[in-house]
A and B are shown apart, each in its own frame.
Chain A
Amino acid sequence: MSENKNLLLEIKDLTIHYVTESGRVHAVEGLNLELAPGETLGFVGETGAGKTTTALGIMRLLPMPPAKIISGDILFEGESLLSKNESQMRAIRGGKIAMIFQDPMTSLDPVVPVIEQIAEMVELHQKGTKADALKRAGDMLELVGIPRERGVAYPHQFSGGMKQRVVIAIALACDPTLLIADEPTTALDVTIQAQVLELMHELKEKFKTAMIMITHDLGIVAEMCDKVAIMYAGRVVEYGTTAMIYNHRLHPYTEGLFNSLPDLESEQEELKVIHGLMPDPTNLPSGCCFHPRCPYATEDCSKSAPAMAEVAPGHFVACPVRVAELKNN
């Protein structure tokens, strides 16, 4: 991939396994990613594709054991996160890299008023008195559209959408340079989803925060992301700008994902699905992991793991079959 000096986040050949009694789970295999400041990267894939593992890996929050980082490196602002000690990591978590969890219902402490939970973040990372922290927390609440007077309420007195707003306020309270959003809207209903996404988009623009958006909703990606990485069984199978992926998708898995979206215009009796199931991560197929489900599969696919090939500047695909097809045309 292209050499770029001012990258915010660079993941090189990251491999994470979960070593359990029932076998070794290949959660992430040889993952390469780059993210420039202010950019939004969509992380798309099925449940179990390794999206959350990657995110937790960046935060160094993986439970170890059973998780084990086998190889690779994560560079953040040019420094390796993997070689930081625990107290350095604590300063980075929240201060530089913030995370929004999937379920706002459970990611707020039920016995602490929300404004104090926001203030806790500020207290941990910024100098100043408790009063300063509370003021900042109040400002953040207003910013996400909740009157500051409501800050004295407890999480159970808030609706799901409001809770997610609070979670966003916590995440952005210390002006992080990178925000990792792990399926931030999955637990919300569609109308609230739209509101929350709009809010995130707005704040991201305002604070110039880079973002990794983990989702399985391709609609969200189209709306929010500059770049997309499609993950399958722990590997990135296709990577490029959102326009490239949406208009010139190549990898059969990406194609399958898009085909399984219901079309608004045509009448469809059935969803077009990708046949088969996600492979057992303790026992992945040989060669290309997708070959048992792939309509384009050839004999070679089961033999050697596909390499990433750059089909257009910044557009990478890990499927030799489709790349060869493209070249022949």
Chain B
Amino acid sequence: MAELNVTETQLRKQRGPFAEVMHRLSKSPLAMFGLGFIFLLVFCAVFANWLAPYPFAKQNLLHMFELPSAKYWLGTDEFGRDILSRLIFGARVSLQVGFIAVGISLIVGGLLGAFAGFYGGTLDNMIMRVMDVLLAIPQTLLAIAIAAALGPGLYNLMIAVGISAVPNYARIVRGSVLSIRGMEYVEAARAVGSSDLRIILRHIIPNSMAPIIVQSTLGVASAILNAAGLSFIGLGIQPPNPEWGAMLSGGRQYIRDFPHLTLYPGLAIMLTILALNFLGDGLRDALDPKLKR
């Protein structure tokens, strides 16, 4: 029994799939930078009330268009609002939109794709042709159309961005389910007497996770970008709520004289996207079980 316990602990401690992936991820400096930046953003978003030096909507018309100073670290905008505070509060919106929109597309697209892949035939054909039609429309245009139909607002923004990305997830999930369904180890699992459900839960889903996790991480980046784009054209977050895209939009008239109005939100968007992409790339490598180091 003692021997057995060793095996069991080893199994959990040493080779837990999560720990294993984290271990490999930690060897990629870029991915770690990405992860660190995302954690920083999450921290800012959660503790925005305490971190931000000023309330996001507090106007100070005596200090409009101020350049970065000790009082206003990143300067003030056209209404004298502190840009740093607005960026910190904006992180809240951007992260929410990014993750929830991806959540929506992952659940809807993932389920559709999994059904299509596992059952095949007519169902597969029906689902995937609808997805093809959606894919034929440029994603941003589709998001604009949905956002315009639903009206502006945070939740509608999430739905619009989420729905417009559904076909991508459906295709990826279907593809990986399809390729894994035909693997010999699935047949081997049948040969040892596993049921369909057990095969799906224990063999097909874990094996199809890697591309889905990678796509989701990269997807958060494009969802944030998409949401910023929608806010920029006025279909997303409404003033005075801070959103990076909306801040860009507000500052664009003054870009010649006061570029810091657009510089900082732009940088925030860029760095976030970059961090998510680094993380996604790192995860892609870390999740490949065949990769030996």
Chain B interface size band reads 20 to 34
Answer whether A111 and B8 are a contact pair too, CB < 8 Å, given A59-B191, A95-B193: no
A125 at interface, CB cutoff 8 A: yes
- Contacts of A86-134 to chain B: CB distance below 8 A: 89-95, 98-99, 101, 103, 106-113, 115-116, 120-121, 124-125, 131, 134
Nearest neighbor of A173 in chain B, beta-carbon distance = B192
Answer whether A101 and B14 are a contact pair too, CB < 8 Å, given A91-B193, A134-B4, A148-B7: no
Answer whether A135 and B4 are a contact pair too, CB < 8 Å, given A94-B191, A107-B185, A113-B11: yes
Whether the Cβ atoms of A111 and B193 lie closer than 8 Å is no
Cβ contact of B193, chosen from A94, A148, A151, cutoff 8 A:
A94
A152 at interface, CB cutoff 8 A: yes
Scoring B14, B189, B292 by chain A CB atoms within 10 A of each residue's CB, the highest score goes to: B189
Cβ contact of A99, chosen from B10, B191, B202, cutoff 8 A:
B191
Chain B 1-43, CB within 8 Å of chain A: the 1/0 string? 1011011101100110100000000000000000000000000
Cα-based distance from A134 to B195 in the complex (angstroms): 20
Whether the Cβ atoms of B289 and A115 lie closer than 8 Å is no
| Contact partners of B10 in chain A: CB under 8 A | 149, 152
| Contact partners of B193 in chain A: CB under 8 A | 89-95, 121, 124-125
Expressed in whole angstroms, the minimum distance between the Cβ of B230 and any Cβ of chain A is 38
Expressed in whole angstroms, the minimum distance between the Cβ of A183 and any Cβ of chain B is 13
A246 at interface, CB cutoff 8 A: no
- Contacts of A126-159 to chain B: CB distance below 8 A: 131, 134-135, 138, 148-149, 151-154, 156
Chain A interface size band reads 35 or more
Cα-based distance from A89 to B195 in the complex (angstroms): 10
Whether the Cβ atoms of B207 and A121 lie closer than 8 Å is no
Cβ contact of B206, chosen from A99, A111, A149, A156, cutoff 8 A:
A111
B190 at interface, CB cutoff 8 A: yes
Cβ contact of A98, chosen from B8, B17, B191, B207, cutoff 8 A:
B191
Scoring A109, A115, A121 by chain B CB atoms within 10 A of each residue's CB, the highest score goes to: A109
- Contacts of B184-208 to chain A: CB distance below 8 A: 184-185, 187-195, 202-203, 206-207
Expressed in whole angstroms, the minimum distance between the Cβ of B120 and any Cβ of chain A is 12
Scoring B184, B189, B192, B202 by chain A CB atoms within 10 A of each residue's CB, the highest score goes to: B192
Cβ contact of A109, chosen from B3, B7, B207, cutoff 8 A:
B207
B71 at interface, CB cutoff 8 A: no
A214 at interface, CB cutoff 8 A: no
| Contact partners of B149 in chain A: CB under 8 A | none
Whether the Cβ atoms of B206 and A101 lie closer than 8 Å is no
Nearest neighbor of A63 in chain B, beta-carbon distance = B187
A245 at interface, CB cutoff 8 A: no
A170 at interface, CB cutoff 8 A: yes
Cα-based distance from A168 to B185 in the complex (angstroms): 14
Whether the Cβ atoms of B207 and A111 lie closer than 8 Å is yes
B290 at interface, CB cutoff 8 A: yes
Whether the Cβ atoms of A110 and B202 lie closer than 8 Å is no
Answer whether A101 and B184 are a contact pair too, CB < 8 Å, given A92-B193, A95-B193, A135-B4: yes
Whether the Cβ atoms of B11 and A107 lie closer than 8 Å is no
Cα-based distance from A92 to B194 in the complex (angstroms): 11
Expressed in whole angstroms, the minimum distance between the Cβ of A55 and any Cβ of chain B is 10
B183 at interface, CB cutoff 8 A: yes
Answer whether A134 and B7 are a contact pair too, CB < 8 Å, given A109-B207, A111-B207, A124-B194: yes
Whether the Cβ atoms of A131 and B192 lie closer than 8 Å is no
Expressed in whole angstroms, the minimum distance between the Cβ of B118 and any Cβ of chain A is 15
| Contact partners of A91 in chain B: CB under 8 A | 193
| Contact partners of A149 in chain B: CB under 8 A | 6-7, 10
A309 at interface, CB cutoff 8 A: no
Nearest neighbor of A92 in chain B, beta-carbon distance = B193
Answer whether A106 and B185 are a contact pair too, CB < 8 Å, given A134-B8, A151-B7: yes
Answer whether A113 and B207 are a contact pair too, CB < 8 Å, given A98-B191, A131-B4, A131-B8: no
Whether the Cβ atoms of B7 and A156 lie closer than 8 Å is no
Whether the Cβ atoms of A120 and B8 lie closer than 8 Å is no
Whether the Cβ atoms of B184 and A103 lie closer than 8 Å is yes
Expressed in whole angstroms, the minimum distance between the Cβ of A154 and any Cβ of chain B is 6
Chain B 66-106, CB within 8 Å of chain A: the 1/0 string? 00000000000000000000000000000000000000000
Expressed in whole angstroms, the minimum distance between the Cβ of B73 and any Cβ of chain A is 47
Closest 6 CB pairs of A and B: A94-B192, A94-B193, A93-B193, A106-B184, A90-B193, A107-B188
List, sorted by A's number, 17 A–B pairs whose CB atoms are closer than 8 Å: A89-B193, A90-B195, A99-B191, A103-B184, A107-B184, A108-B185, A110-B185, A110-B207, A110-B289, A110-B290, A111-B289, A113-B11, A116-B11, A134-B4, A134-B7, A152-B15, A154-B15
